[in-house]
Amino acid sequence: MRETRSMSPTPLRRATLPADLGTILEPGEAEEPILTPAVRRAMIDWMAEIEARDALAQAGLKPRLSALLEGPPGCGKTTLAHHIAARRGIPMLAVGAENLLGMYLGESEGKVAKLFGALEQSRSEVLLFLDEIDAIGGKRSNATDPGGSVSARNSMLTVLLRRVEQCRTIMIAATNRPDTLDEALWRRFGLQITVDLPGDDERYAILKRYAAPFRFDEDLLDALTDLTEGAAPSLLRQLMEGLKRDMILGRTPAGIDAADAVAAVTSAIRPHPDYEPPRLWTAGLPDGFPWPPSRETSREPGR
């Protein structure tokens, strides 16, 4: 079930961090994610834990400040991390592997040290988001390494482990390949949370969100929900935005039915070949659903 409480974050000062470290995302730019009940509960509990820092200290405990989000691509791990930052009214620094990997010996370790050093010196609170952490935190290798690349990766991992353990800012990392992560790095995170493919309720909510400003028939939304089992949120968004785009640009001929409109979109977007396509892509939408949907009109102020 989605939490209905609205999010009205109050941004702190804009973070002053070197531009080459990553991308700063402000609280006002965040979108509320549609989460499974288990993930939502875990996030709410974690935020409450961070707020209860003083109460925990009285019992000799500290709040966990780091979380590892693992799960299939396109399931909203970045959106979730940004939402957490926004709920605290702070910016998020999104750092990808490309921001930390260097071409020369010792360059990657230097970039990791620069990142965490800048966070330590920052005057404003920032949430650190490490995307695709498996690219920089893979398992150690003992393979023969004439070129030194394995040794360099192991050296970078050592620096990363130390910096992650010492980090005192809220930190979230994401991976689509948890099996490739170094075991010691996995243990450095206070929470390990699976952000999986959406269930029926979540798919319906995602489809309805991205249907706006059009009013899709409820039976049609129910059918799309059933036929998109196994689809990631990113694919569901592509589907609905494709339908809206075709309607707005007049690509759907007069008299076309919903099945043909959906087929036109699914022929141009597909899930990754590594994943089994949902039934909407293999069986299509049955005939008989009303089309096109009506468009909501905004009311004039005061009416």
CATH of the domain at 96: 3.40.50.300
Report whether 207 contacts 221 (CB < 8 A).
yes
Q: Are residues 154 and 221 in the same domain?
A: no
Domain residue limits at 146: 19-194
pLDDT in the model for residue 143: 63
> Looking at residue 2, what is its pLDDT?
37
- Tell me: do 185 and 147 sit in the same domain: yes
d(CA 238, CA 247): 14
**55 and 168: one domain?**
yes
Report d(CA 80, CA 69) in Å as an integer: 9
Query: How do residues 165-213 score in pLDDT, each as one tens digit?
Result: 999 999 999 999 999 999 999 999 999 999 999 999 999 999 999 999 9
Q: Is residue 211 part of a domain?
A: yes
Residues 182 and 223 in one domain: no
Question: What are the C-alpha distances in Å from 55 to residues 48, 51, 63?
Answer: 11, 9, 10
Looking at the fold, whether 90 and 214 belong to one and the same domain comes out as no
The CATH number given to whatever domain includes residue 241 is 1.10.8
Q: Are residues 88 and 144 in the same domain?
A: yes
Sign of CA dihedral 99, 100, 101, 107: positive
The 10s digit of each residue's pLDDT in 23-57 is 999 999 999 999 999 999 999 999 999 999 999 99
**Residue ranges with strand state E in 27-161:** 66-70, 92-95, 127-130
Q: Which pLDDT score, from 0 to 100, does residue 19 have? A: 74
pLDDT, position 59: 96
pLDDT in tens, the chain (303 residues): 333 333 344 344 445 677 788 999 999 999 999 999 999 999 999 999 999 999 999 999 999 999 999 999 999 999 999 999 999 999 999 999 899 988 777 888 999 999 999 999 888 899 999 999 999 999 887 665 655 567 778 888 999 999 999 999 999 999 999 999 999 999 999 999 999 999 999 999 999 999 999 999 999 999 999 999 999 999 999 999 999 999 999 887 778 899 999 999 999 999 988 889 999 999 999 999 999 999 987 655 554
Instruction: Give the gyration radius of the chain's Cα atoms.
Output: 22
Residue 8 covered by a domain: no
Q: Is residue 254 part of a domain?
A: yes
Question: Which one of 167, 194, 221 terminates a domain?
Answer: 194
Are 270 and 209 found together in one domain? yes
The answer to whether position 2 is within a domain reads no
Query: Is 285 among the domain residues?
Result: yes
Q: Same domain for 79 and 155?
A: yes
Residue 121 shares a structural domain with residue 46: yes
User: Looking at 146, 170, 194, which one is the last position of a domain?
Assistant: 194
237 occurs within a structural domain: yes
Q: What is the tally of structural domains in the chain?
A: 2
**Do 119 and 164 belong together in one domain?**
yes
Q: Which of 194, 214, 249 is the last residue of a domain?
A: 194
User: Does residue 9 lie within any of the structural domains?
Assistant: no
Cβ 25 vs Cβ 91: under 8 Å: yes
Asked if 160 and 136 count as a contact pair (C-beta separation under 8 A), the reply is yes
How far CA 250 is from CA of 19, 131, 153, 238, 287, in Å, comes to 41, 38, 52, 18, 21
Q: Do 245 and 103 share a domain, yes or no?
A: no
Residue 10 lies in a domain: no
Residues 242 and 108 in one domain: no
